[in-house]
């Protein structure tokens, strides 16, 4: 039994003039599953974790199992500036993989949080000052 990983990748770009940064091969008309052929260095795809030889299981909500190459290409072009893919890494996908209803956690943008020992300025209170005339020796 081979081991594999399923990935949910969401790539966002500023405009249609920014390339996704990958090339794909395969499709029903080519006799094999859709697969990432090349991931360009420093591209949006590379930064989102895509790798050469990853298999495309879904484009948006559409299963890629029976897509022809050109259909997949057009579907990716229609995604505008947000591309949502389900990928599989490590094994050729089966029909069960394409039909998987794997629930991936919703991506939450990273939020800047100060280290635990830092108190926000709005919550800072100076330590109490003791004004005493007594001197302890």
- At residue 78, the 3 state secondary structure works out as coil
In whole angstroms, what is the distance from residue 123 CA to residue 126 CA?
Answer: 10
Counted residue by residue, the chain has a size of: 137
Over the chain, what is the mean pLDDT? 81
In whole angstroms, what is the distance from residue 88 CA to residue 32 CA?
Answer: 14
In whole angstroms, what is the distance from residue 48 CA to residue 51 CA?
Answer: 9
Q: What is the CA angle 90-38-29, rounded to 5? A: 80
In whole angstroms, what is the distance from residue 66 CA to residue 93 CA?
Answer: 12
Provide the b/e sequence for 74-100 (b: ≥16 CB within 10 Å): eebeeeeeebebbbbbeeebeeebbeb
**The CATH classification of domain 5-95, taken from the options 2.40.50.100, 2.40.50.140, 2.40.70.10, 2.30.42.10:** 2.30.42.10
Q: What pLDDT, in 10s, does the model give residues 33-60?
A: 999 999 999 999 999 999 999 999 999 9
User: Which pTM value belongs to this model?
Assistant: 0.73
Q: What pLDDT, in 10s, does the model give residues 99-119?
A: 876 655 444 443 444 444 444
């Amino acid at each position: 039994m081979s081991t594999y990983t399923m990935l949910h990748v969401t790539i966002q770009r500023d405009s249609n003039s920014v390339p996704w940064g990958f090339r794909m091969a395969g499709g029903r008309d080519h006799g094999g599953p859709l697969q990432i052929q090349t991931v360009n260095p420093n591209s949006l795809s590379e930064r989102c974790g895509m790798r050469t030889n990853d298999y495309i299981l879904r484009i948006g909500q559409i299963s890629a199992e029976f897509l022809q190459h050109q259909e997949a290409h057009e579907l990716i072009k229609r995604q505008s500036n947000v591309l949502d893919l389900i990928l599989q890494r490590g094994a050729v996908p089966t029909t069960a993989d394409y039909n998987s209803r794997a629930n991936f956690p919703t991506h939450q943008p990273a939020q800047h949080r100060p280290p635990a020992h830092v108190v926000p300025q709005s919550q800072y209170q100076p330590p109490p000052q003791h004004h005493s005339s007594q001197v302890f020796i």
